[in-house]
Structure 1
Amino acid sequence: MEATATHLPQHPVATSVEPSIVNSSVKVLAESTDLKSVPSEFSFVNEPTGSNSDSIPIIDFTLFTSGNPDQMSKVIQELGKACEEWGFFVLVNHGIPETLIQGIIDAAKEFFDLPEDEKQNVSDPIKYGNGSVITTSNQKIFLWKDLLKFPLHPEFHCPVKPPNLREILFEYAERSRSIAKTLLQGLSENLGLEEGYMEEALKLDTSFQLFAANFYPPCPQPDQAIGLPPHTDYGLLTFLIHNGVPGLQIEYNGKWFNTNSPQNAILVNTADQLEIFSNGKYKSGKHRALVNKEATRISIVIANGPAADAIVSPASQLVQRDGRQLYRPMEYKEYMETQHNNRLNGKTNLELLRIIDS
């Protein structure tokens, strides 16, 4: 059976960015020997079934730097099509060493294995907790995961422990920004925009880049809890790597599909600001994170966005070409704050900004 979004509350109001601890971390809760069922605070009934697909687009990053104009043109077309149709693609041959990727995952595990008091001994803008959502029925539900997150750019932040995290994360963040910039240049060309227009309009030199490490421990009732409910991301391009344990599903044509990205590949999804900037041509990919009974899943997310003070609106050339503007402008910082607000009356940010013909 193929699961669709109708099996879940359509719009949990927002994922809390102020992670909250329910007595202790979800990791500690999951390791409790007498845990037989999901506590009521975490109860989120869902249908976790999804289909497998070999159609999720694969983008070979080396084609961007091959120097072959035909290959470059072809991969830019493929990239644009992936963002239009799926809002997701698997990036291969990106040049980030496998040892660096594995190092990030291992360091994240080291953090989550720290004693609870050491993990909680972080200060703004570094946040640690498990997060929550507010459903349309105004019910607060905690997520079955522990979360560590903090900004990487334009100011770099990192917890003190584990001590090896800072160096490898700094390198991974820089490499990720460089790859994101190349992909965005390709998408700008695919949109037919003037060279440099996107970079200037979105102030990419001071782009806001965020790190998030997600720890999803085994759950006694995977259909009664959720790692992350269906949502879209608020930036431009989100990069995801993981420890090999499946759990992320993406929605395509109203159906849920499992993602099984190859070893050392990066799963990339188009996010809200790119849908807005492209005047709706590119799709912000909806996805969700499920949990399981058997194994801990660790995922590492790098959210690449515009500058915090960039006012994002549909590119003027695209509005002229399309004959109408589909989204209202909003400063990216305000967009993130609104996304984090638990009072959106059941509507996503994209819906609130979408201009509806009267």
Structure 2
Amino acid sequence: MADAANSPAIPIVDFQNWINGSIAERRQIAKELTEACRRVGFVYIVNHGVPDSLLQQSFDWSKRLFDLPQEKKMLAPHPPGPYVHRGYSWPGLEKVSQYIHKEGDDAGAADAELRKVTDCKQESYEIGSEELQSQPNVWLPDEVLPGFRDFMTAFYWKCFEASKDLLSALALGIGLDDDQFFVPYHNGHGNQLRLLHYPPVETEKLSSKAVARMPAHSDWGTITLLFQDECGGLQVEHPNNPGTFMDATPVKNALVMNVGDLLMRWSNDYLKSTLHRVTVPPMDSSRAGTMPQMTRARYSIPYFVSPNPDAVIECIPQCAGPGNPPKYEPVKQDDYRRMRAKLQY
């Protein structure tokens, strides 16, 4: 298993032989993937099934979207509140954190404290299945960005196909008799495609902590597939040094996969949901010697894979035993999603 340059603890797993490989080749891929998820919680996947040309088109569409005038983007606004997560999120709307709302907490006080530092993620656009009535998509009018809706809908389902291969490999790597164990829990309608744009920001504001890119957090679903541009900025908590972070240096045409909270609960902590953050990207070389100093713009596209809303996540029997009882109570996906989203919007 090779390692990514400058990120010695984040392995690279090649899925080239997953579809048509021998049983032994599939087991080896599953073993490498699961070991990476146990040790780090993050892994680079190459030959993942999403064509390079399609990825390039997806980033081209994302840039065209975020280059639109603000009044055009606001024709597809993210609905108010935390329960419908679709459409365009404008600067300052979303606040990412690791805070989890509990009954009895003063949510207003917690929200005010978190928002003292503004996230500079700035802009995102959320897309889901057209068939999930509880999370209706919010699309731009077709005449604003012709072809955008059709492309992103097709791209959403192409990412889902890739995610099913990863879920099957994880089941095999865990040692389950059925490598399709996770797949029936994921019909694709509970997933989320997010287009992200981190505009240039003054480096002085970042260093003074007046603003933040995206603070350390874990993802709450099953797995996340991340496609990132060459800019960089993603950091992952070091597996052997909690509280310190290492760069997830972009690997051309690879996706970065990470374990989410629900998969960690399913596996009784056998697989690791790791904290990660987005920090200062490289300086904009075209502005060298000018003030104020600015970072480069960054684009990324995460695809969040989650169980069906009514799925109940409980400890897999093979992941518990004498001396290792289940660590988490069963939870329904939609209930956990709502809990994690309580203070995000």
2:181 to 175, 183, 197: 197
> What is the aligned partner in structure 2 of residue 278 from structure 1?
267
Compute the displacement of 1:173 (Å).
1.5
Distance 1:154 1:302 in 2: 17
Compute the displacement of 1:75 (Å).
1.0
* Counterpart code for 2:63: K
**What fraction of aligned residue pairs are identical, expressed as a percent?**
25
> What is the aligned partner in structure 2 of residue 297 from structure 1?
298
Change (3 A) 1:313 1:285: same
* Counterpart code for 1:132: K
Compute the displacement of 1:322 (Å).
6.2
* TM-score when normalising by structure 1: 0.75
Change (3 A) 1:181 1:153: farther
Please tell me whether residue 231 in structure 1 is matched to residue 230 in structure 2.
no
Q: CA RMSD in A?
A: 2.3
Pairing of 1:1-358 with structure 2 (within 5 A):
52-123=6-77, 124=79, 125-130=86-91, 131-133=94-96, 138-140=113-115, 141-145=117-121, 146-152=123-129, 154-155=131-132, 157=137, 158-160=139-141, 161-195=144-178, 196-200=180-184, 203-220=185-202, 221=204, 222-223=206-207, 224=209, 225-252=211-238, 253=240, 254=242, 255-292=244-281, 293-320=294-321, 323-342=324-343
Distance 1:265 1:323 in 2: 35
Distance 1:206 1:107 in 2: 22
Q: Secondary structure at the match of 1:57?
A: strand
Q: Is the 8 A contact 1:269 1:285 kept in 2?
A: yes
Distance 1:187 1:173 in 2: 21
Change (3 A) 1:139 1:97: closer
Compute the displacement of 1:104 (Å).
0.9
Distance 1:317 1:109 in 2: 45
Change (3 A) 1:82 1:56: same
Q: Is the 8 A contact 2:40 2:272 kept in 1?
A: yes
- CA deviation string 1:46-87 (max 9, x = no partner): xxxxx9323411111112123222211111110110110111
Distance 2:67 2:73 in 1: 9
* Counterpart code for 2:222: L
Compute the displacement of 1:294 (Å).
3.0
Q: Is the 8 A contact 1:152 1:211 kept in 2?
A: no
Distance 1:305 1:133 in 2: 18
Distance 1:114 1:162 in 2: 9
Change (3 A) 1:154 1:79: farther
Distance 1:299 1:190 in 2: 28
* Counterpart code for 1:333: D
Q: Which moved more, 1:157-166 or 1:298-307?
A: 157-166
Change (3 A) 1:321 1:306: farther
Q: Is the 8 A contact 1:250 1:257 kept in 2?
A: yes
5+ residue gaps in structure 2?
Answer: 80-85, 100-109, 282-293
Q: Which moved more, 1:63-72 or 1:243-252?
A: 63-72
Change (3 A) 1:335 1:118: same
Change (3 A) 1:142 1:273: same
* Counterpart code for 2:267: S
Q: Secondary structure at the match of 1:208?
A: coil
Distance 1:179 1:189 in 2: 16
Count residues with an aligned counterpart: 291
Q: Secondary structure at the match of 1:250?
A: strand
Q: Secondary structure at the match of 1:314?
A: coil
> What is the aligned partner in structure 2 of residue 39 from structure 1?
none
Q: Is the 8 A contact 1:86 1:285 kept in 2?
A: yes
Change (3 A) 1:168 1:54: farther
Change (3 A) 1:208 1:311: same
Distance 1:234 1:172 in 2: 22
Q: Secondary structure at the match of 2:17?
A: helix
* Counterpart code for 1:148: Y
- CA deviation string 1:263-309 (max 9, x = no partner): 11111111111101111100012100113433100111110111111
* TM-score when normalising by structure 2: 0.78
Q: Is the 8 A contact 1:154 1:206 kept in 2?
A: no
Q: Is the 8 A contact 1:153 1:210 kept in 2?
A: no
Q: Is the 8 A contact 1:216 1:291 kept in 2?
A: no
